[in-house]
Amino acid sequence: MRRLVLNLHLAIALLAGAFIVVLGATGSILAFEPQLDRLLHRDVSYVKPGVRVLSLVEIGDAVARKYPGEPVVAYLRSDAADLPNRVILSRGIVSVNQYTGEILGVRTRGQTFLGVVRALHVRLAAGEAGRLVLKWAADGLLFLLISGLYLWWPAKRMRIRGSMGSPKFWFDLHSAVGIFSFLPLLALAASGTILAFEDQLASVLGKPPDSHSVQVKPPQVGSAPRPNATEITPDEAVAIARRELPDALPYRVQMPGYGGLYVIALEYMDHRIAGDRNSVSIDPWSGRIVAAKLAAGLGFQQRFMTANQAIHTGSILGTASRIAAALTGLLVPVQAVSGVVLWLRRRRTWQPT
């Protein structure tokens, strides 16, 4: 049995190893994606805090002067004094100094270093074919972890002996790194597999009527504009949403030109899981709330998938779990290199002692 497990462990490692390394390396980078994005694009990522924050209308006017004729899709409000507001246009995401109205620059989705890293992590930058390959690579990683634990158990080696580059060194390196990274890597691999097969899992569990949250007010269609009527401003829509959820922070304002209603997304900053799954839909002509969705109404399936995503991204425990996820991803190439060395030595009939 041990020889069979070892041969399967080697075969799957050789078949899926390169793809698993890609998952580990890119996942390590993405664990701190927001922070790295701001570091790589400081010119559009930071502002000097001022005394007065411009209204969304004033910010929209500043964007309209720079990019005339382009309607605003949504406003993304900053959650920190030194971070700019952003405005989504059809051309991309515009960073705006919310204190001066200065246009800092425009970003196009995906056309950055981190955009390429994300494309590699999700689909090998190769469309659906790449996504399918990574799905099965994640399954292969789960088998490698379980079979690796089985192979490690008899000797239980947890320290590295021997001189650098010796057969004993490589064997102990593979064993020690594998066991110390086992639990966090198992969590990342399992959560990644669940994300990869999310659609199939949903079909088994049954999709809930509302995949986002529960409605606490009956949904209604936005009213038709009356003669000489004026739409409420996005700032007024935000104020209405905040009265509905006074302890939540509005972070996204979708304009009524895309759906007929203002949709204000709000987040409870002290809730790590599903804290951002709140929204209030507002009639742009009457200012009446026509639907409100709360994270408190999420069902088991939605909460499970939200928690699973937080585990996979490393955000579930904040900075500590992000650091753990990043370090775990960096250990994957170490395991791959040491495993290849062991395989090459095994082909020369070397056996560890």
Per domain, the residue ranges of the chain are 2-35+113-207+306-347, 47-107, 214-298
For residues 216-230, average pLDDT: 57
Give the three-class secondary structure for 292: strand
- For residue 343 the two structure tokens come to 């395989």
Q: Output DSSP code: residue 277.
A: -
Q: Quick check: helix, strand or coil at residue 129?
A: helix
Q: How far apart are the first and last CA of the chain?
A: 20
pLDDT the model gives residue 221: 52
* CA 99 centroid distance within chain: 29
pLDDT score recorded for residue 223:
58
Q: Taking CA 267 as the corner, what is the angle to CA 186 and CA 318, rounded to the nearest 5 degrees?
A: 35
Q: How far is CA 325 from CA 124, 317, 339, in A?
A: 20, 11, 21
Bridge partners, residue 292, by sequence: 280
Q: Residues, the chain, total?
A: 353
Angle at 54 between CA 48 and CA 60, to 5 degrees: 110
Q: What angle do CA 19, 21, 22 make, to 5 degrees?
A: 65
Residues 24, 272, 196, CA angle at the centre, nearest 5°?
A: 40
> What's the whole-model pTM score?
0.84
Of residues 331 and 163, the one with the higher pLDDT is 331
Q: What is the pLDDT of residue 217?
A: 46
Q: 63 and 96 in contact (C-beta within 8 Å)?
A: yes
pLDDT digits (tens, 9 = 90+) for 91-109: 999 999 999 999 999 988 7
Which stretch of 120-134, 202-216, 242-256 has the lowest confidence by average pLDDT? Answer: 202-216
Question: What number does CATH give the domain 214-298?
Answer: 3.10.450
- Both tokens of 137, joined, read 């690579």
What lies within 8 Å, CB to CB, of 174 at 6+ separation is 335, 338, 339, 342
Sign of CA dihedral 150, 154, 158, 159: negative
Q: Is 291 helix (H, G, I), strand (E, B) or coil?
A: strand
Largest pairwise CA distance in the chain: 88
Summarize pLDDT for 298-333 with one digit per residue, the tens: 888 888 899 999 999 999 989 999 999 999 999 999
214-298 and 47-107 share a CATH fold: yes
Query: Tokens standing for 41?
Result: 């694009």
Distance CA 308, CA 94 (A): 31
Confidence tier at 82 by pLDDT (50, 70, 90): very high
Flag whether pLDDT at 190 surpasses 70.
Answer: yes
CATH of domain 47-107: 3.10.450
